[in-house]
Structure 1
Amino acid sequence: MHYQWNYEPPTPERQQAIKELAEKINMSPIVADLLISRGIKTESAAKRFFRPMMNELIDPFLMNDMDVAVDRLNDAMGRKERIMVYGDYDVDGCTAVALVYKFLMQFYSNIDYYIPNREEEGYGVSYKGIDYAKETGVKLIIVLDCGIKAIAEITYAKQQGIDFIICDHHVPDEILPPAVAILNPKRTDSSYPFKHLCGCGVGFKLMQAFAKNNGIPFSRLTPLLDLCAVSIAADLVPVTGENRILAFHGLKQLNINPSIGLKAIINICGLTGRELTMSDIVFKIGPRINASGRMQNGKEAVELLVERDLQRALTEANRINEYNEQRKDIDKQMTIEANEIVARLESQQHMSSIVLYDEGWKKGVVGIVASRLTEIYYRPTVVLTIIDGIATGSARSVAGFDIYDAIKNCRDILENFGGHTYAVGLTLRQENIPEFRRRFQEYVKQHILPEQTLPTLDIDEEIDFKDITKRLHGDLRKLAPHGPANEKPLFLTRNVYDYGTSKVVGRHQEHIKLELVDSKSAVVMNGIAFGQSADARYIKSKRSFDIVYTIEENAYKRGDIQLQITDIRPSETPESPK
């Protein structure tokens, strides 16, 4: 895939601001410019950004209903009531349940946890889960990463004498469930200063408030921050504000002293001994935790995350790894089938969105397939599976397009829906699929902008190879942890050419391993371009080309710098090799 490149050179006014900030922080103007683009314009702000402090976390009692939630939790413990910690079956939900359960278990033993079965109960609070709570004597349920739309279910629970504390971060409806307390920074009446916590983050804030109210040292929460880092990375929430603080210290915990369960997952991922990053969570740790809920039951993931014996944890981690391998096979086959449908349905190719369904597709994998199709076709995509006349599935979006609003526009023909700007889960009756497809596609056609239908790279800096030094790489590392709203910086270098040793590599000869020189110096840079072997012929022609890339440390040669090349294009003003 080739991208549209967006790059705006700094204005004279910005250049002056860059120069002044670079001098104050004693760093390269390149880093100073990256900070300014992130809204960091002073020396003190830069220091806070580089070293996020735990004492900068927001007072949890600023969140609506937090005082009520803590009072109800204290009452439950005082009356020795049975408490259930209930969560979604994805990474965010499982880590949230593990965090709250592990923390409370230090002070209270009459507690259980519950993860619904995706196939039998579906997303969110289920009647089966409430009935189980009733049978086991539960009086208080703390629900994490779901529940904000469970009006009927929580009303039913109330009739059974069970109270709910909701810890959610999904967009709420106008009418809220009859819970004792609803902790959600996205509430329309929310006074909480940071809106982008994940479900695990909201659970952490509840535990922070509980600790503060009961005189428990904050240090007792620190060992749980690795779970926060995993959830923030896997749920793709903005890595800014409070999330940056939690992710920064959570990654530190993950690298220095991870919990037994996460240590086992790190082991089966082959990451032991390496410095772990948010990318390792997104591409290796997260998918394995997710695989439990996709292929079997997310409760197995929670069992692993709360495990205290390393040998048992390694056994459980290997089982979850097997689920992940099965998930990969199913994901690959479903994506092939979905691509064949898109190719066969010529009408789909001319639409501004994709809506597909198949009765044979596995419910736990449709979200991944929707993401794959969005990446391939760069259109908002809905993928559904059908069981007993009910279609259930996931929607994924492209940058800048709010798919939640698009789905919400069809709510009168939906049984249920919920999610974020870029990812939504939905349920509808099979007979309503044609009308849903028509209305969804019409909404997308009317609201999507032309630039949102093109894969785009927003380039941070244009630099030369002589600018790429170990000191620059070291300074760039201070911008981590990376994620949405704080992506790895993308660099542009023009008029580069093959040093003569670049070659195609990979099991299927799909990648290019490069050695490059630019037109400004004799510096030779190593690079890797994944999945771009189609450009190899042009590269070997000795003509110059432009590249967009991130600057990385070579995973196999510690200390060596290499370029991870995102896109390649022929130079508009080519220069000959010197």
Structure 2
Amino acid sequence: MPNRFEHGYGPNSDYFEQLHTEGTEVLITVDNGISGIEQVAFAKSLGMTIIVTDHHEMGDVLPEADAVIHPRHPEGNYPFGELAGVGVAFKLASALLGEPPLDLLEFVAIGTIADLVPLEDENRYMVKEGIRRLRRTQRPGIKALMQVSGHEQSALSEETIGFTIGPRLNAPGRLGDADPAVDLLKAEDEQLALGIAEELNDLNKERQQLVKEIAKEAQEQVEIRYGDHVPHVLVIEGEGWNPGVVGIVSSRLTEKYYRPSIILSLDRETGIAKGSARSIEGFDLYKELSKNASILPHFGGHAMAAGMSLKIEDVELLRSNLNEQAKEVLTEEDLQPILSIDVPLGLDEIDIASIEALEKIRPFGMGFPKPVFLLEQLDTISVRKIGSAKDHLKLEMGDRSERLDAIFFGAGALADEMAPQSKLSLTGDLQINEWNGNKKAQLLVEDVKCDEWQLFDYRGIREPARWLPLIPDQAQFIAFSEEAVQHFAPFFKEIPISLIGRDELHPSSAIVLLDMPQAEEQLKQVMEKTLANRVYLHLHVHDSMYFEKMPDRQQFGWYYSFLKKRETFDLYNQIDMLSKHKGWKKDMIKFMTKVFYELEFVTLENGKVTMLTSADKRDLAEAPSYKKRQQQIKLEELLLYAPYQDLKKVFNSLRETEAVEEEKLWT
């Protein structure tokens, strides 16, 4: 087993020479060698017999080995060209033995799934038969792997191999010496196998942490370099990154940005960059890398994945070349991931028996993916973040009569982007969740979509620090009063606040309403000008009028008669006495005095209220302060103290008005 850190990927002349010195006469490569033209020639010059078995893309020139065994050999006529590297080795073993070693199909299944080749034709048979055998195997190594991973052997599937067995067998080779994985599969003693399996389990955890750290650094590079303008191909390099895990990191970046990506580990001492690449449909990695052969002394792979090494000084040239090449072959549509729906369903069509019947058409994988189910316009009953780090999402969805649990791994942050009672459409894989003998259907979510606008209610959360992190970066913050601007400015620092009447509003996908509008017309203006489909409500009020209410006509009448009898009243010095006598709040007395002043019933000078005997009869509602208070109470009832459902109706009516006005404009 070559060590990828010492010998790199594929054939290595120094290693071949070492093996020859140790007495090796016949050398067989497995899953590599097809691109090792010089290395194979060197091994031949030493007098070794070389047999190359591989399934990767072939160049124009094949190595001059004694035999090149490849399912797509130009001089061959093998009927199935998609064998994995392990499948080619199995075919060679079958030929040497004179019959297929069926007991080894357990290993063929593991290797075929881990190599991400199409599960069609021979691959499909070998994986299906291999899984059947793995479920009842007595191999100590497999049994130990199942034990340390906490999985039931009798329920082993292609997913168990892809997410449990494969990564653990892969971990030691990615971090250093791959021999422990081989030792485990060859182990005949159960205790020895369990010890090695535990070692592999620990190495896998270490590998996971390493991938997480490098992926974070790589993503930060993308954000710093490109911001929102991500190029057609990502070539990201880092000094000291573990070259054994850069392929996994590349997969993460390709999945996140939907771009071909190359992750390179730089070694300043040797001046060499080593890395791995992953691609998307429409960009043949091997073909495009071949156009850069002059700066890639070592590379190999196929359309969707590749490995390579080059001089550090040539990294920028490779980045530039690949992006220019990508512009010629990739359209904007190619850079948009597409999820194909296989089966639209209603909740009433989901039952345990139907899900269990899907087991008959397994295994799923490359070339034969799981069916993707679509459930449209379901009501969101509940949304929860789950997991120790709260990084997963659990939804309870429903319609008038049915309920369904849905789990979305790695999407915990979406909980903050889902408004209550939203209607969602979900895609994913239907599974059976069995707990204490009870079976229940659940959806493993692949994607989620919301077609309606969303309203987020932060009215009861006073401290901005508690809700500010939940607001999207592009949101527009809006205030209806200068007082609110002054109140919130210290909390927001660099975030600008748009003041109604002073600042021009602009279209925005998200808005935050910091305080109460002074009139419903202002709210209409905001919705018309911003066209927001995400509205965050805080609606800060310095002095709420809703619970103070409006003094009734009897109270106004009594106070009017009181002033008329006294002719003058010292508001400053005698308000306390009047407040105690009537049980009225002093603010209410001041308010009624202001209303009388605005209606010219009284004069007010240095706190002395004087009744005017010649005052005309006027309605209370004519006073500006009366109108303002009446309007504020109405708005507070409509917006500040309304239940969420009523609040949603208010904004729905505003948005419908906006849509009608827009339609009139265009017709």
Taking structure 2 as the reference length, what is the TM-score of the superposition? 0.65
Moved more, 261-270 or 192-201: 261-270
Gaps of 5+ in 1: 1-114
In 1, distance between residues paired with 2:77 and 2:174?
35
Quote the offset at 1:529 in angstroms: 2.0
Q: Deviations over 1:470-499 (max 9, x none)?
A: 22112211121010111110011212113x
Of residues 377, 380, 383, the one that matches 2:257 is 377
In 2, distance between residues paired with 1:385 and 1:363?
6
Contact 1:352 1:445 (8 Å CA) reproduced: yes
SS of residue paired to 1:451: coil
Corresponding position of 1:392: 274
SS of residue paired to 1:314: helix
Quote the offset at 1:402 in angstroms: 1.6
SS of residue paired to 1:418: strand
Tell me which amino acid in the other structure corresponds to 2:404. Answer: M
Corresponding position of 2:35: 149
Corresponding position of 1:523: 402
In 2, distance between residues paired with 1:375 and 1:132?
40
Tell me which amino acid in the other structure corresponds to 2:343. Answer: E
1:349 aligns with 2:249: no
Contact 1:239 1:486 (8 Å CA) reproduced: yes
Q: Deviations over 1:480-536 (max 9, x none)?
A: 1010111110011212113x35433222333332332236xx232222122334444
1:542 aligns with 2:421: yes
Tell me which amino acid in the other structure corresponds to 1:162. Answer: M
1:140 aligns with 2:17: no
Quote the offset at 1:337 in angstroms: 1.2
Q: Deviations over 1:346-399 (max 9, x none)?
A: 389341111111222111111111111111211111111122111111111123
Quote the offset at 1:327 in angstroms: 1.4
Contact 1:230 1:286 (8 Å CA) reproduced: yes
Q: Deviations over 1:203-246 (max 9, x none)?
A: 1111122232xxx5x4xx22211111111111111111111000
1:477 aligns with 2:359: yes
Contact 1:516 1:525 (8 Å CA) reproduced: yes
Q: Which has the higher contact order (CA 8 A, sep 6+)?
A: 1
Of residues 417, 425, 449, the one that matches 2:299 is 417
In 2, distance between residues paired with 1:392 and 1:192?
34
Q: Deviations over 1:378-431 (max 9, x none)?
A: 111111112211111111112343222221121111111100111110111112
Corresponding position of 1:206: 92
Identity of aligned residues (%): 35
Within-5 A mapping of 1:277-292:
277-292=157-172
Contact 2:296 2:310 (8 Å CA) reproduced: yes
In 2, distance between residues paired with 1:566 and 1:493?
12
Contact 1:229 1:251 (8 Å CA) reproduced: yes
In 2, distance between residues paired with 1:335 and 1:504?
23
Moved more, 357-366 or 264-273: 264-273
Q: 1:158 to 1:537 in 2, by over 3 A?
A: closer
In 2, distance between residues paired with 1:503 and 1:436?
45
Q: Report the number of matched residues.
A: 452
Tell me which amino acid in the other structure corresponds to 2:396. Answer: E
Within-5 A mapping of 1:430-441:
430-441=312-323
In 1, distance between residues paired with 2:311 and 2:176?
25
Corresponding position of 1:442: 324
In 2, distance between residues paired with 1:325 and 1:489?
31
Q: 1:127 to 1:300 in 2, by over 3 A?
A: farther
Corresponding position of 1:169: 55
SS of residue paired to 1:560: strand
Contact 1:535 1:568 (8 Å CA) reproduced: no
In 2, distance between residues paired with 1:129 and 1:286?
26
Of residues 356, 378, 384, the one that matches 1:503 is 384
Q: Deviations over 1:16-50 (max 9, x none)?
A: xxxxxxxxxxxxxxxxxxxxxxxxxxxxxxxxxxx
SS of residue paired to 1:337: helix
SS of residue paired to 2:135: helix
Of residues 363, 367, 387, the one that matches 2:247 is 367
In 1, distance between residues paired with 2:217 and 2:422?
39
Quote the offset at 1:266 in angstroms: 1.8
Contact 1:165 1:180 (8 Å CA) reproduced: yes
SS of residue paired to 2:443: strand
SS of residue paired to 1:194: coil
Q: 1:192 to 1:518 in 2, by over 3 A?
A: farther
SS of residue paired to 2:244: helix
Of residues 264, 268, 280, the one that matches 2:144 is 264
In 2, distance between residues paired with 1:153 and 1:533?
49
Quote the offset at 1:335 in angstroms: 1.2
Taking structure 1 as the reference length, what is the TM-score of the superposition? 0.74
1:334 aligns with 2:220: no
Q: 1:120 to 1:176 in 2, by over 3 A?
A: same
In 1, distance between residues paired with 2:417 and 2:241?
40
Q: Which runs of 4+ in 1 moved over 6 A?
A: none
In 2, distance between residues paired with 1:539 and 1:329?
30
Q: 1:120 to 1:241 in 2, by over 3 A?
A: same
Contact 1:198 1:237 (8 Å CA) reproduced: yes
In 1, distance between residues paired with 2:326 and 2:130?
38
Two-structure CA RMSD over aligned residues (Å):
2.2
Greater Rg by CA = 2
